[in-house]
Structure 1
Amino acid sequence: MPLSLAEKRLSDDILFANGDPKFDRGLQRRAKEGHLKRVAPGVYVQPGTDEEVAGRIKRNWQKIAAHAVPGAVVSHRSALTGGITPSDEVVLSHPTRFNRRIRYPGLTLVLLKGPGPQPRDLRLGSLDLYWASQERALLENLGRAAATTRAARDDIEERLITSLNASKEAGLNQIRDRARELVEPLGAQTSYDVLNGLIGALLSTHSKGVLKTKAGLAIAQGTPIDMERMRLFDSLATVLRTVVLPDIADIADQGNSRIHFAFLESYFSNYVEGTRFSVEEAEGIVLRNQIVAQRPKDSHDILGVFNLAYRSDTRAMVPPAGEDFVDVLQERHRIMLERRPEVDPGNLKLEANYAGTTQFVQPSHVRGTLAEGSRLALSIPEGIARAIYYLFLVAEVHPFADGNGRLSRLVMNAELSRRERCRIIIPTLFHPQFVDCLRALTQSERPEPLITALSRMATWSAEFDYADVASLIASMRSAHAFEESPAEFRLLNADGSRAT
């Protein structure tokens, strides 16, 4: 017998009774038949071993928390450790439901008394669940809650040190100012006094007796630099100073050609990072301002990259070398992702990030490494050589929680436009090969594949006519630019010959 629509939904990892008698009875029936496992009143998961059930619950802990304690805030230790603590607990604050634990296989919700969501607490998607702002989390972890629900004092100090290295004194002052606004709603005067003392000690490194960690005590020695990365950057720079590279004049620097080039640059750059529209939808977003109602943030991602690639004040302006390089990069990131508060637009990362087994530059070393790496760029010939270096510099440091790939390509192309050279588009079909070339440099210190790949894409990008967008899209479609499988398709040039 075919399943009803309600029963088809039972294939999900986790399901909740919703008050619909027919649906709820279906859940109960399926549980009795062994097709579901009831783990709490109104909460069902797909059956399996104890380990499998616990894994499903952990993967869906946000949905479970929102169902069990609507309006709660992920707080205290959980807000600083990504949610689930090492003891398989999630700490939640709620104004009326507190001093209790809700247990599931492999997960315990720990409910503490605290106010509901504050203005800077982040709502988790469409769930009735919130994540404490950084300032709220710091105050709560410096409070009087049980030690098992609070982060260690050294962890808080390390967090502040990371903020100082990432955002300089202004970042710590902003934390202090925002925390002050929460003193009354959280009843956190004592916690604020402790936080204020830590911040004051970090900003006045001669203070004694307040800082405890080695990093805190050593902060006066200057902004740290990732020396292994600097050695890798120097290796790339050495090759770029002597290699022969194509020198292609900008073929789309005026009028409609400039608009259409920036549109496709944004389209491809976003698509390979997961912001996926059909090229027709993206054309409507950029050229006719037709925001997709169901995906406003994704729509603005397309516009964010387009505007940076098109506008005169950003298109051909490379961030200046040194400390200012970082500040301008942060402003570009803010513009690009301003509609995504969840990725902290404009602020450097506070957590380490990875691509597979590769760990990018530690948050505490980002500012110093970018500043020093950008100074090294000035020793490389202008144009495509320096553009390739800029791309790898930003991609390898990975300074932000999100948007690093898009930003690295924008900085690369800004250098090309600054020298009136043709910008580079990396089409969807070529992206896997491009990533392999980045990996060859990161993991094997082989710069030649990346240099060859970007040189080829510079030539490829310059072969198309960008005057008419319909003809341009048709030509790129014929070249297989929009395809995703290198196993099934080969990237072609505008004349139909093989590009790679």
Structure 2
Amino acid sequence: MYVQASPGDPEHVARVVQRHWQKILGRIFPEAVVSHLSAFRGGMTPQGELILSHPTRFNKRMTLPGLVVVLRKGPGPLPGDMPLGDNHLYWASRPRMLLENLKRSSTRLGRTAGRAEVEAFLVRVLQASGEEAMNRIRDDAKHLKETLDAAAEFQILNALIGELLGTHAKGALRTAEGHLVARGIPADSGALHRLGRLADALRGTPLPRFTDAAAQDPARTHFAFLEAYFSNYVEGTRFSIEEAEQIALHNQIVVSRPKDSHDLLGVFHLILDLRFRSSLPSPDDILEGLCERHRRMLDRRPEVTPGEFKMTTNFAGQTEFVNPALVRGTLLEGAKQASGVPEGLARAVFYAFLVSEIHPFNDGNGRLSRLLMNAELSRLGLCRIIIPTLYHEQYVDAQRALTRGTDPVPLIHALSRIAKWTTLFDYTDLGDVVRAMTSAHAFEENARQFQLLGPDGVVFA
């Protein structure tokens, strides 16, 4: 039988500490840096420890409910280390983390990853992000080696990167993955086949052109707010519409949820920023363009490596997305296919599926796919698309029909239908449009209990 833990229950206290460890440790050890194996593993080590570096408070071990903190001697925040919100705590940069994890562990607990794991990590970086990212790691590590007292570790790192890039003599690599890594950028043939099916269908399907329903302020700002609200809500960043309005339109960050607040702001600002609102990266610049948008969208979440392609395969239910080693090539080839799709709604549908099908980042792929979709529409002065909560399940089912069954028709129909629905509302007054969308069941979640209506109260078909 399940018994809910009371606030005084040790398990409850441990969960609270684990949920708020950044804020707690920032108060206890301000200017400390999550480092060594903790930075490498993304937080807690396999031994249940969280390792911090601090220049004056070190060689300490603190046990809290649900958390063991290990303090190691090391510099405070260095260039590239990322602040964890406003908590006065930092996350080691990738070059710093690699140098620290090449050091020998001084205990049997193994508080560094070691050479083999660092090499495997570098292989994944090369496959996911290419040679430029590897050279950037090497250059940044070179500037950090003296401060970290890691000259010997830098020599190892330099040799590993050099051999992986083919610029150094052989002998540094130790793993099979390192020896077998290819320097090309292969693509996922299955994903490209599905993208090709979608492109063919879009070329053969006449689609409507809906004029922008919110071209001028204040309607444009209100539309951007609702677009950002729904796009975040369906991905799990859930606020009431009133809370979200305070965050986006009045910059009132929810103190207990600063990262979620900035997630909403990140999408909202990208929608309004003319550099991103109405322009798409060219096929040659698709990698850099996506990374820049992702970095701006999730810059308060270092744990999801904003602006960096994923290094492990991600899943949604039984759907396995493109392997990290194939992400760059698939994006490049997919973007080339996009240029052969008719401009407007057809190309917007293609870009939405391109990003969602590849899932190139650890997080934020759905939001990013919709931003690219709508950028194509804004580029041509067409109405952007809002996908309300009640419609999200139908939209995902349509994507799944193409991903699993190679049938593009449901996706084209689903986005064409909701594009029309979006144009039916007047966005001039925010209160009025929120009330109208509420009456239309846009904010509901149960598609078996509610039907999406138009602003006239009639079932939208």
* TM-score normalized by the length of structure 1: 0.78
* Alignment partners' CA distance in 2, 1:126 and 1:296: 9
1:138 to 73, 98, 108: 98
Structure 1 residues not aligned, in runs of 5+ = 1-6, 16-44, 46-55
* Alignment partners' CA distance in 2, 1:58 and 1:207: 49
Q: Which amino acid aligns with 2:74?
A: P
* Alignment partners' CA distance in 2, 1:118 and 1:290: 28
Aligned-residue offset at 1:340: 3.3
Structure with larger Rg: 1
- 1:28-65 CA-partner distances (Å, limit 9, x unpaired): xxxxxxxxxxxxxxxxx7xxxxxxxxxx89988969x9
Q: Does 1:428 align with 2:389?
A: yes
* Alignment partners' CA distance in 1, 2:385 and 2:378: 10
Q: Does 1:232 align with 2:232?
A: no
Q: Which moved more, 1:263-272 or 1:336-345?
A: 336-345
Q: Which amino acid aligns with 1:314?
A: F
Q: Does 1:10 align with 2:3?
A: no
* Alignment partners' CA distance in 1, 2:447 and 2:6: 35
Q: Does 1:498 align with 2:455?
A: no
- 1:164-222 CA-partner distances (Å, limit 9, x unpaired): 34443442233224333443443222111111222233344464333445554455641
Partner of 1:276: 238
Give the 3 Å change call, closer, same or farther, for CA 110–144 of structure 1 in structure 2. Answer: farther
Aligned-residue offset at 1:262: 1.5
Partner of 2:429: 468
1:442 to 378, 403, 411: 403
Partner of 1:243: 205
Preserved CA contact (<8 Å) 1:157 1:211:
yes
Preserved CA contact (<8 Å) 1:76 1:91:
no
Q: Does 1:333 align with 2:331?
A: no
Partner of 1:187: 149
Give the 3 Å change call, closer, same or farther, for CA 11–358 of structure 1 in structure 2. Answer: farther
Q: Which moved more, 1:446-455 or 1:127-136?
A: 127-136
Matches within 5 A, 1:159-174: 159-174=121-136
Aligned-residue offset at 1:320: 0.7
Aligned-residue offset at 1:281: 3.0
Q: Which amino acid aligns with 2:96?
A: R
* Alignment partners' CA distance in 2, 1:57 and 1:309: 35
1:390 to 351, 368, 374: 351
* Alignment partners' CA distance in 2, 1:434 and 1:270: 15
Aligned-residue offset at 1:382: 1.6
The SS at the match of 1:255 is: coil
- Greater relative contact order, per chain length (Cα 8 Å cut-off, separation 6+): 2
Q: Does 1:261 align with 2:252?
A: no
Matches within 5 A, 1:339-350: 339-350=300-311
Aligned-residue offset at 1:454: 1.0
- 1:283-324 CA-partner distances (Å, limit 9, x unpaired): 3333344444554443333332223223332222111113x1
* Alignment partners' CA distance in 2, 1:126 and 1:381: 45
Q: Which amino acid aligns with 2:11?
A: D
Partner of 1:286: 248
Partner of 2:74: 115
Preserved CA contact (<8 Å) 1:91 1:149:
no
Give the 3 Å change call, closer, same or farther, for CA 77–344 of structure 1 in structure 2. Answer: closer
Aligned-residue offset at 1:131: 5.1
Give the 3 Å change call, closer, same or farther, for CA 366–195 of structure 1 in structure 2. Answer: same
Question: RMSD of the alignment, in Å?
Answer: 3.6
Preserved CA contact (<8 Å) 2:6 2:12:
no
* Alignment partners' CA distance in 2, 1:108 and 1:454: 46
1:156 to 111, 118, 133: 118
1:92 to 51, 71, 74: 51
* Alignment partners' CA distance in 1, 2:83 and 2:246: 29
Q: Which moved more, 1:267-276 or 1:451-460?
A: 267-276
Q: Which moved more, 1:388-397 or 1:461-470?
A: 461-470
Q: Which amino acid aligns with 1:327?
A: E
- 1:452-493 CA-partner distances (Å, limit 9, x unpaired): 211110111011112222221121111011122223322111
Number of corresponding residues: 449
Q: Which amino acid aligns with 1:137?
A: M
The SS at the match of 2:208 is: coil
Q: Does 1:354 align with 2:352?
A: no
* Alignment partners' CA distance in 2, 1:385 and 1:172: 37
- 1:327-383 CA-partner distances (Å, limit 9, x unpaired): 111111222223333433222223332222323222232222111111111222221
Provide the identity percentage. 49
Preserved CA contact (<8 Å) 1:161 1:364:
no
Give the 3 Å change call, closer, same or farther, for CA 183–421 of structure 1 in structure 2. Answer: same
